[in-house]
A and B are shown apart, each in its own frame.
Chain A
Amino acid sequence: MVARGLKRKLHDSEDSRGSFWETQLQSVLDISLDKYQRDQALVEPSLLRSVLINNTLRQVQSEVRTSLTEPTSAWKPQPPPRPQPEFLSQREIEDFSLSSAISAILKNLDAALDGGYNPPPSTLLPPPPQRTPLASVENLPGDGKFKQNLGFTHMMESCRTSSVGTSAVVSGIFQESTIDDLLMDLDTSVFGREMSSFAPHTFSFPADELMRYLPSLSTSSPAPSSSSGSREIHELEQIMDILIRS
Chain B
Amino acid sequence: MCVCSLCVSAPRAAAGVGGGNDFQWCFSQVKGAIDEDVAEADIISTVEFNYSGELLATGDKGGRVVIFQREQESKNRPLSRGEYNVYSTFQSHEPEFDYLKSLEIEEKINKIRWLPQQNAAHFLLSTNDKTIKLWKISERDKRAEGYNLKDEDGRLRDPFRISTLRVPVLMPMDLMVEASPRRIFANAHTYHINSISVNSDHETYLSADDLRINLWHLEITDRSFNIVDIKPANMEELTEVITAAECHPHQCNVFVYSSSKGTIRLCDMRAAALCDRHSKFFEEPEDPSSRSFFSEIISSISDVKFSHSGRYMMTRDYLSVKVWDLNMENRPVETYQVHEYLRSKLCSLYENDCIFDKFECCWNGSDSAIMTGSYNNFFRMFDRNTRRDITLEASRENSKPRATLKPRKVCTGGKRKKDEISVDSLDFNKKILHTAWHPKENVIAVAATNNLYIFQDKMN
- In this complex, how many residues of chain A approach chain B with their Cβ under 8 Å: the count is 59
> A124 and B296: CB pair below 8 A?
no
- Asked if B366 is at the interface (CB within 8 A of a chain A CB), the reply is no
> B300 and A158: CB pair below 8 A?
no
Q: A3-B348, A31-B350 are in contact. Are A128 and B102 (CB under 8 A)?
A: yes
* Cα–Cα distance between A6 and B236 once the two chains are bound (Å): 32
* Chain A, residue nearest B227 (CB): A151
- Asked if A44 is at the interface (CB within 8 A of a chain B CB), the reply is yes
Task: Tell me the A7-47 residues at the B interface (CB within 8 Å).
Answer: 24-25, 27-28, 31, 43-44, 46-47
Which of the segments B170-178, B184-192, B327-335 contacts the partner chain? B184-192
Over the window 238-274 of chain B, the binary record of Cβ atoms lying under 8 Å from chain A Cβ atoms (1 yes, 0 no) is 1111010000000000000000100000000000011
Task: Tell me the A40-70 residues at the B interface (CB within 8 Å).
Answer: 43-44, 46-49, 51-52, 54-56, 59-60, 63
Q: A4-B351, A51-B239 are in contact. Are A170 and B94 (CB under 8 A)?
A: yes
> A3 and B235: CB pair below 8 A?
no
Instruction: Give the residue of B104, B243, B347, B348 whose beta carbon is less than 8 angstroms from that of A123.
Output: B104
Which residues of A sit under 8 angstroms from B187, Cβ to Cβ?
154, 157-158, 160
> B351 and A157: CB pair below 8 A?
no
* Cα–Cα distance between A24 and B351 once the two chains are bound (Å): 12
Task: Tell me the A148-171 residues at the B interface (CB within 8 Å).
Answer: 150-154, 157-162, 164, 167-171
Residue of A136, A139, A144 ringed by the most chain B CB atoms within 10 A: A139
Chain B interface main SS type: mixed
Could you tell me the distance in whole angstroms from the C-beta of A37 to the nearest C-beta in chain B? 14
Q: A47-B192, A48-B210, A170-B94 are in contact. Are A138 and B347 (CB under 8 A)?
A: no
Could you tell me the distance in whole angstroms from the C-beta of A146 to the nearest C-beta in chain B? 7
Which of the segments B61-69, B216-224, B385-393 contacts the partner chain? B216-224
Task: Tell me the A180-200 residues at the B interface (CB within 8 Å).
Answer: none
> B222 and A161: CB pair below 8 A?
yes
> B104 and A158: CB pair below 8 A?
no
* Cα–Cα distance between A43 and B98 once the two chains are bound (Å): 12
> B260 and A59: CB pair below 8 A?
no
* Chain B, residue nearest A153 (CB): B223
> B235 and A139: CB pair below 8 A?
yes
Could you tell me the distance in whole angstroms from the C-beta of B345 to the nearest C-beta in chain A? 6
Could you tell me the distance in whole angstroms from the C-beta of B241 to the nearest C-beta in chain A? 5
> B345 and A3: CB pair below 8 A?
yes
- Asked if B116 is at the interface (CB within 8 A of a chain A CB), the reply is no
Over the window 335-355 of chain B, the binary record of Cβ atoms lying under 8 Å from chain A Cβ atoms (1 yes, 0 no) is 000000000010110110000
Could you tell me the distance in whole angstroms from the C-beta of A218 to the nearest C-beta in chain B? 30
* Cα–Cα distance between A231 and B261 once the two chains are bound (Å): 35
* Chain B, residue nearest A150 (CB): B273
Could you tell me the distance in whole angstroms from the C-beta of A240 to the nearest C-beta in chain B? 14
- Asked if B160 is at the interface (CB within 8 A of a chain A CB), the reply is no
Could you tell me the distance in whole angstroms from the C-beta of B96 to the nearest C-beta in chain A? 5
* Chain B, residue nearest A3 (CB): B347
Which residues of A sit under 8 angstroms from B226, Cβ to Cβ?
146, 151, 154
Q: A47-B191, A56-B293, A168-B181 are in contact. Are A2 and B222 (CB under 8 A)?
A: no
> B186 and A158: CB pair below 8 A?
yes
Which residues of B sit under 8 angstroms from A56, Cβ to Cβ?
293-294, 296-297
- Asked if A135 is at the interface (CB within 8 A of a chain B CB), the reply is yes
Q: A134-B236, A134-B238, A151-B226 are in contact. Are A52 and B273 (CB under 8 A)?
A: no
Which residues of A sit under 8 angstroms from B189, Cβ to Cβ?
157
Which residues of A sit under 8 angstroms from B297, Cβ to Cβ?
52, 56
Instruction: Give the residue of A3, A4, A59, A128 whose beta carbon is less than 8 angstroms from that of B296.
Output: A59
Q: A151-B226, A151-B227 are in contact. Are A55 and B239 (CB under 8 A)?
A: yes
- Asked if B415 is at the interface (CB within 8 A of a chain A CB), the reply is no
Q: A52-B300, A83-B237, A139-B235 are in contact. Are A164 and B182 (CB under 8 A)?
A: yes
- Asked if A147 is at the interface (CB within 8 A of a chain B CB), the reply is yes
Q: A51-B239, A160-B187, A164-B182 are in contact. Are A154 and B351 (CB under 8 A)?
A: no
Q: A172-B97, A245-B236 are in contact. Are A60 and B293 (CB under 8 A)?
A: yes
Q: A48-B260, A124-B97 are in contact. Are A161 and B191 (CB under 8 A)?
A: no
Instruction: Give the residue of A51, A146, A160, A172 whose beta carbon is less than 8 angstroms from that of B238.
Output: A51
- Asked if B105 is at the interface (CB within 8 A of a chain A CB), the reply is yes
Residue of A146, A161, A162 ringed by the most chain B CB atoms within 10 A: A162
* Cα–Cα distance between A44 and B189 once the two chains are bound (Å): 15
* Chain A, residue nearest B302 (CB): A48
- Asked if B424 is at the interface (CB within 8 A of a chain A CB), the reply is yes
Write the residues of chain B forming the contact surface with A, with a CB cutoff of 8 angstroms: 94, 96-99, 101-105, 131, 133, 181-184, 186-192, 210-211, 221-227, 229, 231, 233-241, 243, 260, 273-274, 288-289, 291-294, 296-297, 300, 345, 347-348, 350-351, 356, 423-424
CB-CB nearest 6 A-B residue pairs: A3-B347, A158-B187, A151-B226, A128-B102, A138-B235, A77-B288
A-B contact pairs, 7 of them (CB 8 A): A4-B347, A43-B103, A143-B231, A144-B233, A151-B227, A154-B187, A154-B223
